[in-house]
Amino acid sequence: MASEIKTISIIGSGNVAHHLGKAFANHVTIVSVHSRNVETGSKLAEELDGYFAEEIESILPADLYLVCVSDDEVNTVISQLPEDASIAYSSGSVSMRDIDKKKNLGVIYPLQTFSKEREIDLFQVPFFIEATSEVFGQQLFDLSWLLSRKVVFANSEMRRNLHLAAVMVNNFVNHIDFLAMKFLKSKSLEMDFLNPLIKETALKLQSLSPEAAQTGPAIRHDSKTIANHIEMLDGDTKEIYTLLTESIQKHHQK
């Protein structure tokens, strides 16, 4: 059986570092936090009852170094950590192949959007685990199991696919909501009118398939309403309306 991870040093002080740090702090000791951002880093260290390391060299030894930095910084940060360290990073799109080899290298990738303003219940959030060794993989699995009951081993390619899907359902959906709200604003209508609909659109998919949930002028081939809508729009919103309508009609044949 793999020995337990009992101490963690965190690198990063963004949304992921904040949420994983707080959640893990309920189960293991966060010995130190390092962040280039002294303000958010020292605040997070204080909240997690750990030492704030201003320099990455002064970060304290721990059973696990948890690297929660942006994708393009993962490799640079890891290359500065001790040769014999056990390290996990939290990025969806960075392949383990692209990281300079360390003794124990792995990934803990929670498929969720985090912001400091919002509490997240991690118990249902999928955590994807990858590791250079079976023993280290098991350690990362057990550690993640403290937070979630949806822990899954996934290699870099699977994680890359999951990340792409996540970009669609989060980044793209948020942008569609942005464009719709912007449109209402341009017509002097309250953007908040959309809130219950935005919420129900997502909640519906927790129990219904998106095929079953699809409604509206596109799937009904209501060409009069579609033509009116396209007429009412301009610029990229018009292009997006047209392309998505065609796509809905293509994927749902009459």
Q: Please report, as residue ranges, which positions from 9 to 68 form the binding site for its own copies (by CB under 8 A).
A: none
Task: Please state the closest distance from residue 18 (CB atom) to its own copies, in A.
Answer: 14
CA 14, CA 17: separation in Å to the nearest integer? 5
Binding its own copies by CB under 8 A: which of 125, 131, 140, 147? 125
2, 56, 60, 198: which one binds its own copies (CB under 8 A): 198
Nearest to 53 by CA among 90, 65, 210: 65
**Residue 254 near its own copies by CB under 8 A:** no
Query: Any contact of residue 113 with its own copies (CB under 8 A)?
Result: yes
Residue 119 touches its own copies, criterion: CB under 8 A: no
Nearer to its own copies, 61 or 216 (CB): 216
Using CB under 8 A as the binding rule, the residues of this chain from 76 to 105 that contact its own copies are 93
Q: Phi, psi at residue 155, to the nearest 5°?
A: -75, 175
Residues 174-193 that bind its own copies (CB under 8 A): 174-184, 187, 189, 193
142 to 171, contacts with its own copies by CB under 8 A?
150, 152, 158, 160-162, 164-171
Residues of this chain, 218-247, that bind its own copies according to CB under 8 A: 218-220, 222, 224-225, 228-229, 232-233, 236-237, 239-241, 243-244, 246-247
C-alpha closest to that of 176 among 193, 198, 160, 159: 198
